[in-house]
Structure 1
Amino acid sequence: MGLAYLPSGDALVAERNTGRVLRLSPGGGDPRQVYEVPGVMAGGEGGLLGLAVPPSFAGDNLIYAYFTAEQDNRIVRFRLDGGRPEVIFDGIAKASYHNGGRIAFGPDGMLYVGTGDAGETQRSQDPRAPTAKSCG
């Protein structure tokens, strides 16, 4: 579902159902797994939904991911060279459909996130949604 490009031109591809992040290099070769996001609960329209590469990637090796967990949708960041992910935002409403999940860094360096309405249409027009807390 998610696709993001590294400064090298390599692509990172999110496998929605498995939580795996694959890396593909220009010019071919087989995709190779470079990370697996723990706690991904695929089902309906949920799973590993979005990836984003920050402008600071060359210095910090961080990747951001949006995914469906057991209780909610959340955003984590992790290093491609390994380690546990850090939850930076959780508590985003989840359902079997309309989970959202697109994330991207804007030209201002801020991370922008498209959340879903989790099947409650009034949530899509509520400026206070998602009812989430910042974890980082």
Structure 2
Amino acid sequence: MSLELRSVNYPRRISLMRNNKSRLSGFTLWEVLVVLFLMGVLLTSFTPYYGSASKHVRLQMNRANIQRIEGAAQLYKIDVGTYPHSVTDLVYSQKGMSDWQGPYLNEIPSNPFNSEQSYQLDSSGRVNNSSAN
């Protein structure tokens, strides 16, 4: 008779063990919600730092572009004898300029603050402050 009880209880024990195992695997809804909440708090706390870092990078790019343009304008003046009228003159040759040794820039740099606003040169080969932001 004890053999019968063991044979009857054995499959039941296995099914109980399977149920316990399935209850232990995975995450509860509360655990998932807590993790999502903490991730949201971290993201909102770092967002202001990202914005200021992005502005700093654009400012550095703008300064580098201005230095490149002004340096190219100096090279243009050495070759041609006068400063260029525009940044385009540093990339493309004007008709009838035999002393032009360019291009002095590979491409016209875009303004990182306003991509539709281009850099403007004054008569002394400097970039205007209005276009530099």
TM-score, normalised with respect to structure 2: 0.25
More helix by share: 2
Bigger radius of gyration: 2
